[in-house]
Amino acid sequence: MKNYLNKVTNREDLSLEEMENAARLMFTEDITDTEIGAFLTALKVKTESADEIAGLVNVIREKSLTLPKQLTGVMDNCGTGGDGSQSFNVSTTSAFVIAGAGITVAKHGNRSISSKTGSADVLEHLGVSLSLTSEQTHELLKENGIAFLFAPHVHPALKRMMKVRKDLKIPTIFNLIGPLTNPVELTTQLLGIYRRDMLEQMANVLHRLGRKRALILNGAGHMDEASLAGENHLVLLERGELMQFTLHPEEVGLPVYGNEAIKGGDSKENADILHRVLKGEKGAYRDTVLLNAGLGIFADGKANTVQEGVKLAQESIDSGAALSKLEYLIDYSKQEV
């Protein structure tokens, strides 16, 4: 580890292989928490490269619970968090809408870290189990087209890292990689990130991780979700090529709302918002979900344009398909208790 630490301290990027070796060392008892903390801090000061991010993700996925590999064409729409917006659970609600449009979604998430309520908090309140086996998760993905993967359950090796991160009290590479560590082999992805300066870099990371197509976004007000408040910044990854563009909600027939209109609350309140949106309630919450789900459907390639994606998202909600995906997940969880 000393060699890797010296290199990073000298502001030299590690290769993908070097980062994988350093990451494997971090998960052994051979190095101390202090060494891990120093390494994470040095990476942050230098600024993490695409190879370094991908290398760490590869090792975390090596150590995660493995799922059967027969599934193909699976996507995720998880964001990094960290935008400080205190919004309701946009990506969690959108995941059911995307699934209702016929796309298989392996929704990876956690409890609240920087927001009031994480995806796990909301889904647990609704009655969704956070501790299903890999076989049960696989069954849900096949039969229901959506399953929830609770990060601490599928990544038990990360427990030690949580202690180091808490002790450091600063954002590190781990604040960027949550949505990248899904143990399911994803084909496509919608990735929201709170750092606009890293859109291209995260697109390159997703390319290294094997995504055929992905959309990386930073919303108006620097949200890690698409926002109705104004211009959203995006990068489309398709077959290794990157295309940058911006998107205003009015371009896809949606109204403008300030970000304060989509504030959330505790798990009970956010679960209620999620349920109301899936039941068809109109307003800022629904329109925000339509934009984000529409982008997810476009990211997967099921829609040729974002506007077409928004239309499919509307149909998913209004037909009851999105709500039925949630209800199936809740019913399945009850049977497995």
Task: State the binding site for anthranilate.
Answer: 79, 110, 165
What is the rounded average pLDDT of the residues 4-32?
A: 95
Q: Over the stretch 185-198, which tens digit does the pLDDT of each residue have? A: 999 999 999 899 99
pLDDT > 70 fraction of the chain, expressed in percent and rounded: 98
pLDDT at 117: 76
First to last CA, the chain: 44
Interatomic CA distance for residues 289 and 236, integer angstroms: 20
- Confirm if 316 and 97 have CB atoms less than 8 A apart: yes
Interatomic CA distance for residues 178 and 89, integer angstroms: 16
What is the rounded average pLDDT of the residues 314-324?
A: 98
What is the rounded average pLDDT of the residues 231-237?
A: 98
Task: State the binding site for 5-phospho-alpha-D-ribose 1-diphosphate.
Answer: 79, 82-83, 87, 89-92, 107-115, 119
Task: State the binding site for Mg(2+).
Answer: 91, 224-225
Q: What is the largest CA-CA distance in the chain?
A: 58
Residue count of the chain, please give it: 337
pLDDT at 320: 98
pLDDT at 78: 85
DSSP secondary structure string, 224-283?
SS--TTS-EEEEEEETTEEEEEEE-GGGGT-----GGGGB--SHHHHHHHHHHHHTT--S
- Confirm if 214 and 203 have CB atoms less than 8 A apart: yes
Helix (H, G, I), strand (E, B) or coil at 216: strand
2: number of Cβ within 10 Å? 8
Q: Residue 73: left if φ>0, alpha if ψ -120 to 50, beta else—which one?
A: left
Residues sharing a CB contact under 8 Å with residue 326, sequence separation 6 or more, in sequence order: 96, 126, 274, 275, 278
Task: State the binding site.
Answer: 79, 82-83, 87, 89-92, 107-115, 119, 165, 224-225
* Element holding 104 (H helix, E strand): strand 104-109
Main-chain dihedrals φ then ψ at residue 77, nearest 5 degrees: -135, 40
What is the rounded average pLDDT of the residues 296-317?
A: 98
Q: Over the stretch 128-144, which tens digit does the pLDDT of each residue have? A: 999 999 999 999 999 99
pLDDT higher than threshold 90 for residue 328: yes
- Confirm if 117 and 264 have CB atoms less than 8 A apart: yes
- Model's pTM, two decimal places? 0.94
Interatomic CA distance for residues 89 and 108, integer angstroms: 13
pLDDT higher than threshold 80 for residue 83: no
Q: What's the token pair of residue 138?
A: 């696989």
> Which runs of consecutive H residues, i.e. helices, occur in 47-158?
50-62, 90-100, 119-126, 134-143, 151-154
Q: Over the stretch 161-207, which tens digit does the pLDDT of each residue have? A: 888 988 998 889 998 898 999 999 999 999 999 899 999 999 999 99
pLDDT grade for 250, boundaries at 50, 70 and 90: very high
pLDDT grade for 122, boundaries at 50, 70 and 90: very high
Q: Over the stretch 273-287, which tens digit does the pLDDT of each residue have? A: 999 999 999 999 999
Any idea what the Cα angle at residue 297 is, between residues 241 and 274, rounded to 5°? Answer: 135
Distances (CA, A) of 69 to 122, 186, 240, 309: 28, 11, 23, 28
In 3D space, the residue among 253, 246, 249 whose CA is nearest the CA of residue 261 turns out to be: 249
pLDDT at 174: 92
Helix (H, G, I), strand (E, B) or coil at 51: helix
